[in-house]
Structures are given as structure tokens and as C-alpha cells.
């Protein structure tokens, strides 16, 4: 059955996209209706009788004698058995409709006679009482929480939904003699005469509510608009198809055109205009998509079940799957998960204080000396340390900068930078090291090699080695700050043209801010 539904959806959408095809097909339906009327011998003699003519709202919409609803319940001696209403057989044996016109002021009693005689429980009204300034239907019920009397019938309106809703729901209690019955009334208020609603959602919602109220009740469902043919025929056709789907009667020869022709054989001019004819197709398509998506969300079973249904028509399957279903149908290929390429594991940054982007430099054989290697701050040499040549011992004595108007500062007894020893405190908290008497100069820990500064300046490759010290220890950052400014004054830490200095800064422990000395600008 699903194969036939998908085929119908594709054909209906293709038909809707071609206006000329809709027009020609609707004209064909009208021609076939006239031909079938002659072949079946359908007549409307009762509606043309003089005593019954005034009971017809429109003189050209008369019930067929073969399917009209006869009235057998007489409450007055002057009443007849005629009412402008027709039986329409539903999709199942116990389902039927009464398609009728909106009652006139002098046929309201006949309207309630019919409802009571055929034990109608659900009334579906597809029009408003007044449309475009014209009376379309007589008000045959009481106001909210009120009671009205129509001949021998007493109608009480128990409850009613808001008047601004698309579908107004009412509950009536109808009393005749000593018996009372509940009747449920559904009125669709946004359907223009000879036109179509803007959306099918309201129609489908109203039919769903009505069929829930009907339940397993076997009496006919009464459907009416103004004339009881155009909008009434649309509702009967859509509900007819819904019952076919529920009872799994949709077969390969399923044709909505044939269903509408069958309804026209029972009620003349059912589905009255080309726009209404097209609206039936769109509404049925939306209903199919809604019910099928409710069973199998997102069509996830396409690959398992649908593909086998189209072994005899591969081209049709491709075309149907390309059509965009309103429930978000997708092809089976789009449901396959694509394997993602392996992603590198992210580097842990929990104990990282700062990240410095350093340009890649060619490896060098220069070995870095720890500042406290000879002062006893670190016992033994680190695993990566190796004996350094004399040319790599480039540490020098730095003279503090003098300030105008003050005497030379007192030599510091605490190193400005942290030493590389394990367990040392931060620079501001480090214990004082034994001071030697160097006068106005403070020695930087480490050896001062025998070559003099002038000799070092003449050594080839020394400056390049200083600027290309590699970082091999993840715990420390090597900082190279060569002072190249030859215009410095005599008060600078380094003499003009000096090589500057190398130092190692230990990563801070914990979330504390770096010491103030770290941010002091070098001059």
C-alpha cells in the first residue's frame, strides 16, 4: 500500500504544478459526470415538484431521486418527506454521509427531523451563516448556554469554543418528546464560497475532531455548506480517502478522480470548482504525508522497506525520493554516517601559564649553563647538561643603572630572576645568597670566561649562537634579549655594542601574579 501512496503523491504533485493539466482533468470530470448520469438514469423529479421547489436554496442543485434522504418522521400533518439532502456511501460498509444544503428559515424543522430520524451524532458545517452580505445558512442552534425551540425539537447549546477560532466546536442537547441526545457540531469559518482555504491544516484538524466524536457510532455523519455540493463534496472526498487508508484499501488502481466521480453520482456537483478539485489533491497529499510520518518518523525505514517496493520501477523510485515531503523525508544515502578522520588528542593546558609563539630555528650544539650551577644552587648537573666549551660561557658583570641625584644603589643580595634549582621560591621570596664584596658591581651567578669582552666580540658565530638557543625543556622558557642599540648611554647595563645576556625564567607556581620585577622595563 505504501508503494501506491508514494506513487499517488508524486503524480498529485506533478499535476498541481501544471495548471493546464488540472483544468483539463476537471473538465473531464464534469463531462464524465453528465455521461454517467445518463448511463445510470439519475433523476431529480422530487426536487422539481411545485410543493418542494421552495425548499431548495438553489434551483439547479437538486438531490437525485435515487440517493435523496426521505423523511419519515412527521411532527405535523402538513409536512412532506422531501429535504434537499443526499446519502453518500463511505469507504466502509458502516460509514456514510448525509450531504445537505444549509437549511432555510422554513426548513429548519425538516433539518432537525432528518437529524433525529437518522440518529445523527456529528454535524460538520463548512460555511458561515452570512458570507459577503448574503445569507448562506439559517441559524439552527441556540446561543451559548441558551435554549431554542424548533417545532417539536428543543435545542440547548451546552458549550461553545471561541468565535475567533478557525473551527468552532459546539455541544448540543436535543430533546424530542421525552428523549434527549447529545449532538456535536463543528463549524469551519474560514472557507470562502466557491473558493478554497489557504491551508489544509484546519480542514484535517476539523475532520480529526469530528471522527473522534463520531467514534464507533454507525449513523451517518451530516455534512453541509450553503448548497451542499462544493465544499461538502471536498470534505466527503478527503474523509473517504482517510478511511481507505485506515482500512488499508488503497490499491494499485487508487484514483482520486474516480472517487470524486462516485461521489458526484450520489450528490450532484460535488467538488464544484477547479480550485476545489485541486485542493482535494493537495489535502490528501498532506494527509498521507502526515499519517506516514507519524508511523515512521523521517522515513528512516526507506532503505529497509521502501526499496523493495520499487524493484519493477527504479526510475519511479528515484523521482519519488527526490520530491520534498513536508515531514522532512530524506533518502537512505543521506542517513549513512560518514566516518570522521582521526583527530589529534588535544594538548593538556592545565599547568600552562603562557604560550609563546617562537620561530623555528636550526638546531645548534650550544649548551646552556644554569645560572647557579657553580654556586651550589643545584646539586649535580641536569640530565641534559653537558660540558660546555669556553666560548659558550658568555655571562658578564652588569652594573646597575644610576639615577640622577642619588647615590649608587646598594648592591642587591637577591637575584632578580628565579634560579633553575628544584624547590626554589619565587624571586621576591628567595633567601638571600651569601654576598661577596664586589664593590659597586653585582656578579651574575655563573662563570665569567677568561676571554675578554673585546675577544668575545671578535669570535665568529658567537652572536648567532646566542640568538639560536633551542628550548628542549617544557618547564622553562629561554629568553634571548640581545641589546643591539649602539646609541645607549654609559649608564646602560651593557656597554655599547655588548652582547646582552641570556636568562631562564622559571614557570610560576600556582595562580599568583608574576613578581613586579618581571614586568620592569629594561633600559
Give the Cα separation of 462 and 456 in Å (integer): 7
pLDDT exceeds 70 at position 217? yes
pLDDT exceeds 50 at position 29? yes
Report strand pairing: 96-100 vs 221-224: parallel
Q: Which residue has the cell 504544478?
A: 17
For residue 180, the surrounding DSSP H or E stretch is strand 179-188
CB 263 within 8 A of CB 236: yes
CB 128 within 8 A of CB 136: yes
Active site residue 72: no
Distances (CA, A) of 206 to 145, 188, 210, 238, 280: 23, 7, 6, 12, 15
Catalytic residue of the set 137, 225, 229, 494: 225
- Which pLDDT tens digit goes with each residue over 494-517? 444 445 555 555 565 666 676 676
Share of the chain above pLDDT 70, in %: 56
In the chain, count H helices and then E strands.
13, 12
pLDDT exceeds 70 at position 489? no
pLDDT bucket at 77, cuts 50 / 70 / 90: confident
Of the spans 93-97, 287-291, 351-355, 404-408, which averages the highest pLDDT? 93-97
Give the Cα separation of 229 and 235 in Å (integer): 10
pLDDT bucket at 44, cuts 50 / 70 / 90: very high
Give the Cα separation of 296 and 274 in Å (integer): 33
pLDDT bucket at 401, cuts 50 / 70 / 90: low
Q: What are phi and psi of 413, to 5 degrees?
A: -105, -5
Give the Cα separation of 309 and 295 in Å (integer): 18
The C-alpha cell of 250 is what?
488503497
Closest residue by Cα to residue 113 from 72, 163, 164: 72
pLDDT exceeds 90 at position 451? no
| Whole-number pLDDT of residue 27 | 93
Mean pLDDT within 37-43 = 96
| Whole-number pLDDT of residue 129 | 95
Mean pLDDT within 262-286 = 94
Task: Tell me what the pLDDT averaged over the chain comes to.
Answer: 73
pLDDT bucket at 273, cuts 50 / 70 / 90: very high
Share of the chain above pLDDT 90, in %: 44
What CATH number labels 2-295? 3.90.190.10
More confident residue, 165 or 462: 165
Mean pLDDT within 126-144 = 94
Give the Cα separation of 186 and 183 in Å (integer): 10
pLDDT bucket at 8, cuts 50 / 70 / 90: confident
For residue 286, the surrounding DSSP H or E stretch is helix 274-295
Domain ranges of the chain: 2-295, 298-331, 353-523
For residue 135, the surrounding DSSP H or E stretch is strand 134-135
More confident residue, 71 or 250: 71
Mean pLDDT within 163-172 = 93
Q: Which of 70-84, 97-111, 326-340, 388-402 has the lowest mean pLDDT?
A: 326-340
pLDDT exceeds 60 at position 345? no
Q: What are phi and psi of 224, to 5 degrees?
A: -150, 155
| Whole-number pLDDT of residue 61 | 96
pLDDT exceeds 60 at position 482? no
| Whole-number pLDDT of residue 360 | 52
Contacts of 261 (CB under 8 A, 6+ apart): 29, 32, 33, 36
pLDDT exceeds 60 at position 126? yes
Mean pLDDT within 142-168 = 94
Amino acid at each position: 500500500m505504501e508503494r501506491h501512496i508514494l506513487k499517488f503523491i508524486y503524480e498529485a504533485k506533478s499535476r498541481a504544478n501544471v495548471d493546464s493539466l488540472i483544468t483539463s482533468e476537471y473538465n473531464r470530470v464534469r463531462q464524465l459526470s453528465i455521461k454517467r448520469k445518463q448511463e445510470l438514469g439519475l433523476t431529480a423529479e422530487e426536487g422539481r415538484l411545485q410543493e418542494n421547489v421552495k425548499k431548495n436554496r438553489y434551483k439547479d442543485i437538486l438531490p437525485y431521486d435515487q440517493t435523496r434522504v426521505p423523511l419519515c418522521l412527521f411532527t405535523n400533518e402538513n409536512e412532506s418527506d422531501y429535504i434537499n439532502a443526499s446519502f453518500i456511501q463511505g469507504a466502509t460498509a458502516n460509514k456514510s454521509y448525509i450531504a445537505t444544503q444549509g437549511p432555510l428559515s422554513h426548513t429548519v424543522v425538516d433539518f432537525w427531523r432528518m437529524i433525529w430520524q437518522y440518529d445523527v451524532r456529528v454535524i460538520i458545517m463548512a460555511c458561515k451563516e452570512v458570507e459577503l452580505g448574503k445569507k448562506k445558512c439559517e441559524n439552527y442552534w441556540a446561543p451559548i448556554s441558551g435554549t431554542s425551540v424548533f417545532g417539536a425539537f428543543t435545542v440547548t447549546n451546552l458549550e461553545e469554543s471561541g468565535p475567533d477560532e478557525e473551527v468552532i466546536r459546539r455541544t448540543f442537547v436535543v430533546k424530542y418528546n421525552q428523549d434527549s441526545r447529545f449532538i456535536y457540531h463543528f463549524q469551519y469559518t474560514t472557507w470562502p464560497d466557491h473558493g478554497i482555504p489557504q491551508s489544509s491544516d484546519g480542514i484535517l484538524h476539523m475532520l480529526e475532531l469530528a471522527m473522534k466524536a463520531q467514534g464507533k457510532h454507525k449513523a451517518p455523519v451530516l455534512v453541509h455548506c450553503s448548497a451542499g455540493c462544493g465544499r461538502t463534496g471536498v470534505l466527503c472526498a478527503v474523509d473517504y480517502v482517510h478511511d481507505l487508508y485506515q482500512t488499508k484499501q488503497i490499491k494499485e488502481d487508487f484514483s482520486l478522480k474516480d472517487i470524486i466521480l462516485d461521489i458526484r453520482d450520489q450528490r450532484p456537483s460535488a467538488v464544484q470548482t477547479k480550485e476545489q478539485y485541486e485542493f482535494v489533491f493537495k489535502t490528501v497529499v498532506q494527509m498521507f504525508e502526515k499519517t506516514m510520518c507519524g508511523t515512521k518518523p523521517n522515513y528512516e525505514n526507506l532503505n529497509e522497506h521502501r526499496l523493495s517496493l520499487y524493484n519493477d520501477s527504479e526510475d519511479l523510485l528515484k523521482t519519488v525520493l527526490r520530491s520534498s515531503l513536508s515531514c522532512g523525508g530524506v533518502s537512505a544515502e543521506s542517513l549513512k554516517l560518514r566516518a570522521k578522520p582521526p583527530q589529534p588528542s588535544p594538548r593538556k593546558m592545565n599547568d600552562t601559564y603562557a604560550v609563546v609563539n617562537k620561530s623555528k630555528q636550526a638546531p645548534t650544539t650550544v649548551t646552556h649553563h644554569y645560572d647557579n650551577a657553580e654556586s651550589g644552587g643545584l646539586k649535580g648537573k641536569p640530565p641534559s647538561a653537558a660540558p660546555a666549551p669556553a666560548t659558550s660561557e658568555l655571562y658578564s658583570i652588569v652594573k646597575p643603572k644610576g639615577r640622577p641625584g642619588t647615590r649608587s644603589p646598594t648592591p642587591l643580595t637577591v637575584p632578580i630572576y628565579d634560579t633553575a634549582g628544584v624547590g626554589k621560591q619565587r624571586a621576591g621570596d628567595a633567601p638571600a645568597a651569601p654576598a661577596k664584596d664586589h664593590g659597586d658591581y653585582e656578579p651574575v651567578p655563573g662563570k665569567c670566561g677568561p676571554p675578554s669582552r673585546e675577544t668575545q666580540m671578535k669570535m665568529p658565530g658567537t652572536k648567532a649562537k646566542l640568538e639560536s638557543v633551542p628550548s628542549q625543556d617544557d618547564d622553562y622558557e629561554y629568553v634571548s634579549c640581545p641589546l643591539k642599540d649602539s646609541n645607549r648611554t654609559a649608564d646602560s647595563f651593557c656597554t655599547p655594542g655588548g652582547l646582552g645576556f641570556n636568562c631562564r625564567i622559571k614557570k610560576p607556581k600556582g595562580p599568583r601574579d608574576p613578581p613586579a620585577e618581571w614586568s620592569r622595563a629594561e633600559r
